[in-house]
Structure 1
Amino acid sequence: MSTLLPISELLSYRMHRVANAISRSAATRYRRDFDVSLGEWRTLALLGEESPLTLNRLAARAGLDKAQMSRVVAKLDERGLLVRASGAGRSTQLSLSRKGRSVYQGLIEAANERNEAFLVCLNPAEREALDSALDKLGTLAKALESQRSL
């Protein structure tokens, strides 16, 4: 029988800690520079990447439940950062307004600067290994999630 690892050495816990630290520093910057929360930033970024999206699709892409995404969308809508349009059936298509695209542009530039600041500590081989490892871990995690086995 192998020795059981303490939580501090488990891969999922270590990745969670790193991701949270990165997210907390991002949240601070995005709140200060753009007056958006982390959830609002992710929503703007997803709509900036692909638009229009329904609320359900946007929630799935962001990893939030529909109620959480609905609250984020309502806040962005109040600020004039979104445009709602009727879609097929009763669905509503969401996209960025002109003001939203402007905020998105500043946010995505800041996010790319932050991304490069984190990657600078890795050499090209380490970056490639990290990308490969994250792809493999993501694929396995999705497969396990769909099996509901772990």
Structure 2
Amino acid sequence: MQRDFYLHENLPFVVHVVANRMHQLMSIVFDRSFNLKVAEWHLMATLHEAGPITQAEISRLQRTDKVAISRMVIALQKRGLLVRTLGGRDNRHQLVALTAPGETMVYDALDKLSLLEELLFKDFDEGEMSTLRKGLQKLRLATDNAQVQAVGMPPSSLTLQRRSGREGLTLSELLRLESGQSVPSE
């Protein structure tokens, strides 16, 4: 017996469509307001949260290939939004950090994102928002687990937090966990 199938009721498809629409909205906001691509914003937001880190660490955190990260760093550095300096224990690693204009842009972008969030979720009450956040967190964990099982990709920061039994870890703590190091308990 053939089962009825409606694409618009298939949750992976619906999530994909909504994610694409969100990406398009963010692209418009970042392009018009800051002449940034969403991926460039993501890189800047990662640096804002993590502080100075290497391009390899950015690549791991964002699950983006190192070449793409390198190109974005170069482009953002030319615009004066990022700076690369020597760092690490032996000064052999280049650390990437936001400049003062880069930090200012991040805060301005966060304001724009807050306005977008208000617009998109104005009809959601607190309970619905809480349920949505929890559901998306579960979905993210499920997709992480599916990726690990399907193609052997490393777990995301959310999965690492869940495995560690702690939430709200900083990006530097997540990087230590990801590399197999321990993170001191609170």
TM range (shorter): 0.7 to 0.9
Contact 1:54/1:94 (<8 A) preserved: yes
Residue 62 of structure 1 pairs with residue 43 of structure 2: no
**Could you say what secondary structure the match of 2:115 adopts?**
helix
Alpha-carbon shift at residue 19 of structure 1 (Å): 1.1
- Alpha-carbon distance in 1 for matches of 2:3, 2:78: 54
Task: Measure, in 1, the Cα distance between the counterparts of 2:95 and 2:61.
Answer: 15
Aligned to 2:30, the other structure's residue is in SS state helix
Deviation of 1:87 (Å): 2.7
Q: Match of 1:49?
A: 49
**Separation of aligned partners in 1, 2:84 and 2:106:** 17
**How many residues were matched structurally?**
149
Match of 1:115 in 2: 117
- Distance across 2 between alignment mates of 1:22 and 1:146: 26
Stretches (4+) displaced over 4 A? none
The reply to whether residue 105 of structure 1 matches residue 103 of structure 2 is: no
**Secondary structure of the equivalent of 2:40?**
helix
2:94 maps to which residue? 92
Cα RMSD between the aligned structures?
2.0
Alpha-carbon distance, 1:130 to partner: 0.7
Structure 2 runs not aligned, ≥5 long: 152-186
Please, which runs of 5 or more residues in structure 1 have no aligned partner?
Answer: none
Q: Show CA shifts across 1:84-130 (max 9, x none).
A: 12133642211100111111111111112212221212122211111
What is the aligned partner in structure 2 of residue 148 from structure 1?
150
Structure 2 equivalent of residue 40 of structure 1:
40
Question: Percent identity at matched positions?
Answer: 26
Q: Which has the higher contact order (CA 8 A, sep 6+)?
A: 1
TM-score norm. by structure 1 comes to 0.88
- Structure 2 counterpart of 1:28: 28
- The answer to whether the 8 A contact 1:45-1:108 is kept is no
Higher helix share: 1
Q: What do residues 121-143 of structure 1 show as CA deviations (whole Å, max 9, x unaligned)?
A: 21222111111111111112111
Retained in 2: the 8 A contact 1:82–1:95? yes
Which amino acid letter does the alignment assign opposite residue 30 of structure 1? F
TM-score (norm 2): 0.72
Report the equivalent of 1:72: 72
